[in-house]
């Protein structure tokens, strides 16, 4: 799970936050079974600043201890 701080949002505006999981030591996107590990979060701003948590679900059994983030 990543936490993203958003500032300067326009109240009533719809937003889409897209994220992807990274392998830190390679500075590369995490790919499992040929697919990037991604997730989107859509919301309508109800205040100018907020924190959003975006979750990533994947089978990590093949990572072999890689540092992801």
Tens digit of pLDDT for each residue in 46-69?
A: 999 999 998 888 877 777 766 666
pLDDT band at 25 (very low <50, low <70, confident <90, very high): confident
- Residue 30 CB: number of other CB atoms within 10 A? 21
pTM: predicted TM-score of the whole model, two decimal places: 0.70
* Spans of all domains in the chain: 2-58
Q: What is the mean pLDDT of residues 6-34?
A: 92
Q: What is the mean pLDDT of residues 3-13?
A: 96
pLDDT score for 63: 73
Task: Report the length, in residues, of the chain.
Answer: 69
**Distance in angstroms (rounded) separating the CA atoms of residues 54 and 40:** 8
Residue 24, phi then psi, degrees to nearest 5: -60, -50
Given a cut of 80, whether residue 12 has pLDDT beyond it is yes
């Amino acid at each position: 799970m990543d936490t993203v701080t958003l500032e300067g949002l326009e109240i009533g505006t719809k937003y889409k936050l897209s994220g992807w999981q990274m392998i830190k030591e390679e500075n590369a996107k995490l790919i499992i079974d040929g697919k990037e590990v991604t997730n989107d979060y859509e919301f309508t701003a109800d205040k100018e600043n907020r924190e959003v948590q975006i979750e990533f679900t994947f089978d990590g059994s093949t990572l072999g201890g890689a540092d992801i983030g």
